[in-house]
Amino acid sequence: MSKLFIVPTPIGNLEDITLRSLKILEEADLILAEDTRKTSNLLKHYNISTRLRAHHKFNEHSTVSHVVSRLKTGEKIALVTDAGTPSISDPGYLLIRTCLENNIDVECLPGPTAFVPALVNSGLPDDKFCFEGFLPVKKGRSKRLKELAGEKRTIVFYEAPHRLTYTLNQLIEYFGPSRKASVSRELTKIHEETIRGTLSELAEHFAFKTVKGEIVIVLGPQS
């Protein structure tokens, strides 16, 4: 029976993958990968030889119909991204929507995603939160921050390392320097780090540092 499997992959440590995910990757007819080179490293680590095909934001519009056609013939296809759960700030939504529109079963496996450990480890209220992902890089950025200024829940952002200081200073502008927050980077990796404090303390801490790795900013609610 045809099915599209959404398979989360480790965000750093290769051991952070479920036995079921490995079974699906091994038994699938095809794996769609955001970056076939990165996924190849994961598959080699677990001696999986399933065929790979590139599926990313630059080609998904042109390839989605072909993937759906293959699924309709009865194939089982797994979708992965470079790290974490597909469709969460990564490619996947378009394919999932198209499969559902064509009555093709879609199953998302549980697994790694960066914002959950960052949120829990922040020490900030996590019973209610807002996942914002990446802010617009240019157009619409200020407008979105103004809209979020009234948000009463903890907010989770993703950010690129080269924009970290810029974003922290913008958050100070819209939320105030004393707002509690945390910055997590290199989650599950050797140099994993979470820095907690006020926005002004975090901006000062990272002001003159060369930051590497994917960034998760957790912004606490108003006191």
Q: What's the CATH code of the domain at 52?
A: 3.40.1010.10
The whole-angstrom separation of Cα 114 and Cα 135 is 16
For the segment 167-177, what is each residue's pLDDT rounded down to a tens digit?
999 999 999 99
Co-location of 28 and 72 in the same domain: yes
The neighbour count for residue 166, using CB atoms within 10 Å, is: 12
* Mean pLDDT confidence for 28-43: 97
Q: Are residues 92 and 126 in the same domain?
A: no
Compute the average pLDDT of residues 49-65.
94
Same domain, 49 and 122: no
100 plus 18 within the same structural domain: yes
Residues 76 and 128 in one domain: no
Last residue of a domain, one of 49, 83, 108: 108
Q: What is the pLDDT of residue 89?
A: 86
Beta bridge partners of 143: none
Q: Do 71 and 46 reside in the same domain of the chain?
A: yes
Q: Encode pLDDT of 99-140 as tens digits.
A: 999 999 999 999 999 999 999 999 999 999 999 999 999 899
- Do 56 and 10 sit in the same domain of this protein? yes
Give the pairing of strands 129-134 and 30-33: unpaired
What are the tens digits of pLDDT across the range 143-166? 999 999 999 999 999 999 999 999
Short-list 106, 21, 39, CA closest to 68: 106
pLDDT band at 11 (very low <50, low <70, confident <90, very high): very high
Domain final residue pick, 85, 108, 131: 108
134 with 152, same domain: the answer is yes
Q: Is 125 found in the same domain as 86?
A: no
User: What's the rounded Cα separation, in Å, for the pair 90 and 61?
Assistant: 14
Give the per-residue pLDDT at 141: 96
What is the CB neighbour count within 10 angstroms for residue 23? 12
CB atoms within 10 A of CB 26: 15
Q: Is the pLDDT of residue 223 over 80?
A: no
Q: Based on the structure, what is the number of domains in the chain?
A: 2
Query: Which of 51, 46, 115 has its CA nearest to residue 83?
Result: 115
Q: Which of 60, 85, 108 is the last residue of a domain?
A: 108
pLDDT digits (tens, 9 = 90+) for 174-214: 999 999 999 999 999 999 999 999 999 999 999 988 899 89
Q: How many helices and strands (H and E) does the chain possess?
A: 8, 10
Mean pLDDT of 20-45: 97
Domain of residue 46 covers: 3-108
Same domain, 171 and 215: yes
